[in-house]
Structure 1
Amino acid sequence: MVSIIIPIYKVARFLDTCVESVTAQTYRNLEILLVDDGSPDECPAMCDAWAERDSRVRVIHKPNGGLSDARNAGIAHATGDYIYFVDSDDAIAPNLVEDCLRAMRKYDADLVMFKFDTISESGRTLLSDYRHNDFDQVQVLTPVETIKMQVKAEIDGYFWAFLAPASTYQGTGFSFPVGRKIEDLSRICNVIGAATRVVRIPEVLYHYRMRGGSITATADPKLMRDWMKAADDREEYIDERFPELKGFMKLQQLNFFANLDYETMRQSLIAGLKIDPEDADALRRRIDGLRNDVEKDDSETIPDALLELLGILKLAVSNGVNGLVEGAAVPVGAVPARPGASGASVASGAGSVDSTGKDESDEQGEKPSLSDLFRDMREDWRQMRIQWVDAMQNAVEERQRD
């Protein structure tokens, strides 16, 4: 039996679509756990109605504690041999469970990952280009190979993007961190490390809805702090479980900062938020610490372009603390690497930065805007923002038609 856990909070508009996609699975031996996380709308009653309609549905009503707390409650009540998580505003393909179980048997794997697409609030399929989906052949991997791909952002950490045995979560001390966001990143490698063999199947089995009110689309000044805690959790687990990856982890975290945190900072600025000086300082210290660790390890080398990007990132953080806004001129001209590049590289046509952090284009009187600086940010984050805007536009158009 497969237990499907669906945490629920203020998603009345999408809940029926989500649960319908789960009850319609071609694999019928399911336990469907609807975890009402103290939702103040009609969701609790909707959950109870589903339990009356389908005997496989069980409802857990609990005080509001957040996504992690709701997932933990679902794990505690699950009785299936496998556990799968679905976000209550999304939907799944009818063959998801059946195809995952078939892949487990065929490839003798105990962790199955798959592709996903993105949909708007109205359910329209959106264009997206996530690196996670950039494969078209079955991949059979060891846990170490999979963890390396995850750390390099070639595999996303979404817990709805794979099916795992219940034994991964139960009786092992596993739990999601309560009171924090970015909970998936915090625990994804724990799940991978518990596997003996991983298989990735090139099938789109999940429909990820981009909407303005979701956790990932809501700007929050605490987000960076939670991300850093999640990154610490992941590194601590990998260092303990796979010590041979220690040098690899240090270098990849630097690459991750150079390619991702520009966008984190930009989104905070675009949203009109001020970056907390303590958070910015902690990020700068983290970058310096990782850089020192890697430089002491002869087995790993930091590419020169990455060193430049790290300096640019620290300047961007400082500018952010001082109130930099979208469109303002900044004294840097290099842009982060596009995804798929080897290491990190500077985009062609951008001004170079010398060891003092000065942009050579300054001498020519050119000061690139912030939007220019970030134009080649990691593709999946850029696409997420594009799809979010598209979803918001769809919502506006629908309201106007109504």
Structure 2
Amino acid sequence: MKLSVIIPVYNVEDYLESCLNHLVKGYKNKDDIEIILIDDGSTDNSKYICDYYAKKFVFIKVVHKNNGGLSKARNLGINISKGEMITFIDSDDLVPINYLNVLLDILKNTNADIISFKYKIVQNGLFNKPVEYSSKKMKNATKVDMMTSVVRDSYTWDKIYKRKLWKDITFPSFRHYEDIATTYKIFEKARKFVVYDDVLYFYRQRSGSITHQNSASIKLRAVTDAIIARKEQLNFFEKNNYQKAYKLVTHDLMINAFTLIRWTIQYKLKKDNLYKEMVIYLKKYEPSIRADGIKYYLMVKAYKNVYPLYLILIYFYKKRIHENMDFYN
């Protein structure tokens, strides 16, 4: 079997049918591809939708399991997959019509370890225009360039991988941003890379995603997991001398650190060890316009010189509010 498509499913009844309809439309060869639906303990109609499609299409199989999170669902899909190559789809996203045929055409024309393609962020809409394969869109890429690109594009679903690359590598359980913590490790094991210069994935941003959460605890947990992943990347890229990737991760860690500090203060949360570590990290970091660019240079300089004043103002502002509340009580 050439390709396994792994799709974790959890409470996406409003999106799953459109995801699967787009996926299977136009695909006729039943032997080259398997689609693995991992129902991660859905409590809505998603599990029944999975069963319906598994009965309708012989190349679709479904596994029902107790809820354990996205990482465990993906890991299970990898373990039971039979394809020489694997790819992933999130069940609330979409792929263009003829997606499977294009992926097979790509695989027929390269023996690359990893093939990366473009994606597009969408909200809603119809995507009925089929994609077509073109050899002119196939471009070889160097490992250094791909290790640099994976910093900003750690998504798992816009790539095809040789399944053997995943031996001894799993997605970390119970962490946000599991892609950031994993994809670069797979890239390091690969030798040959190809970039397919076309959009083959539609990433649907929903109100339930982490970026749209209002819960302070969820936000803080997410940015904490992002910092942990970035620190792991930083150590890896420094050790393996990927200088451009290292610098990009440094900048991403800065953004995460600023966010952690701001949210900790804004939501009056405990200043834990990671908070203190990030404060020290930013204080010690000496930016330069040449190495960091004007944006990050000004960002760090402003934090060091202006942010203490901001904290003082916040302190007295909160104190004033409490005094007024005591007065009226």
Please give the TM-score of this superposition, normalised by the length of structure 2. Answer: 0.77
Q: Which residue of 2 aligns with 1:16?
A: 17
Counterparts in 2 of 1:111-130, with a 5 A limit? Answer: 111-120=114-123, 122-123=124-125
- How many Å separate the matches in 1 of 2:122 and 2:233? 29
**2:202 counterpart of 1:207:** yes
- Choose which of 48, 69, 72 in structure 2 pairs with 1:69: 72
User: Any gaps of 5 or more consecutive residues in structure 1?
Assistant: 126-135, 329-402
Distance 1:104 1:44, change over 3 A: closer
Where 1:31 maps in the other structure, the secondary structure is strand
Aligned-partner Cα distance in 1 for 2:28–2:270: 49
- The CA deviation string for residues 47-73 of structure 1, in whole angstroms up to 9 with x for no partner, is 112211111111111111111111111
Q: 2:175 aligns with which of 156, 174, 180?
A: 180
Q: Following superposition of structure 1 onto structure 2, how do residues 138-217 of structure 1 map, counting pairs within 5 Å?
A: 138-151=138-151, 153=152, 156-169=153-166, 172-217=167-212
Deviation at 1:215, TM superposition (A): 4.2
Whole-angstrom CA distance in 2 between matches of 1:222 and 1:211: 19
Alignment of 1:35-54 (within 5 A): 35-54=38-57
Opposite residue 230 of structure 2, the aligned amino acid is A
Describe how 1:313-328 pairs up with structure 2 within 5 A.
313=303
Amino acid at match of 1:123: G
The 1:195/1:96 distance shift into structure 2, 3 A limit, reads farther
Counterpart amino acid of residue 98 in structure 1 = N
Describe the SS at the equivalent of 1:36.
strand
Q: What is the aligned partner in structure 2 of residue 282 from structure 1?
A: 277
Please name the residue that 2:229 is paired with. Answer: 230
Following superposition, the deviation at residue 237 of structure 1 comes to: 3.8
Amino acid aligned to 1:95: N
Compute the RMSD of aligned alpha carbons: 3.4
Structure 2: which amino acid aligns with 1:200?
Answer: V
Note the C-alpha offset of 1:208. Answer: 1.1
The alpha carbon displacement at 1:16 in A equals 0.8
What is the TM-score with the length of structure 1 in the denominator? 0.64
Q: Offset of 1:199 from its aligned partner?
A: 1.6
SS of the residue corresponding to residue 91 of structure 2 reads coil
Q: Percent identity of the aligned residues?
A: 25
Unaligned ranges ≥5, structure 2:
128-135, 318-329
Match of 1:373 in 2: none
Please say if 1:310 is aligned against 2:297. Answer: no
Distance in 2 between residues matched to 1:181 and 1:277, nearest whole Å = 20
Cα drift, residue 273 of structure 1: 4.2
Quote the Cα distance in structure 2 between the aligned partners of 1:115 and 1:238: 24
CA distance, structure 1, for counterparts of residue 77 and residue 307 of structure 2? 39
SS at match of 2:116: strand
Distance in 1 (alpha carbons) for counterparts of 2:66 and 2:241: 42
1:352 matched to which residue of 2? none
Distance 1:62 1:254, change over 3 A: same
What is the count of residue pairs matched by the alignment?
298
Q: Match for residue 7 of structure 2? A: 6
- Whether the aligned pair in 1 keeps the contact of 2:11 and 2:46 (CA below 8 Å) is yes
What CA distance in whole angstroms lies between the structure 2 residues aligned with 1:276 and 1:303? 33
Partner secondary structure for residue 182 of structure 2:
helix
User: Which is worse superposed, 75-84 or 20-29?
Assistant: 20-29
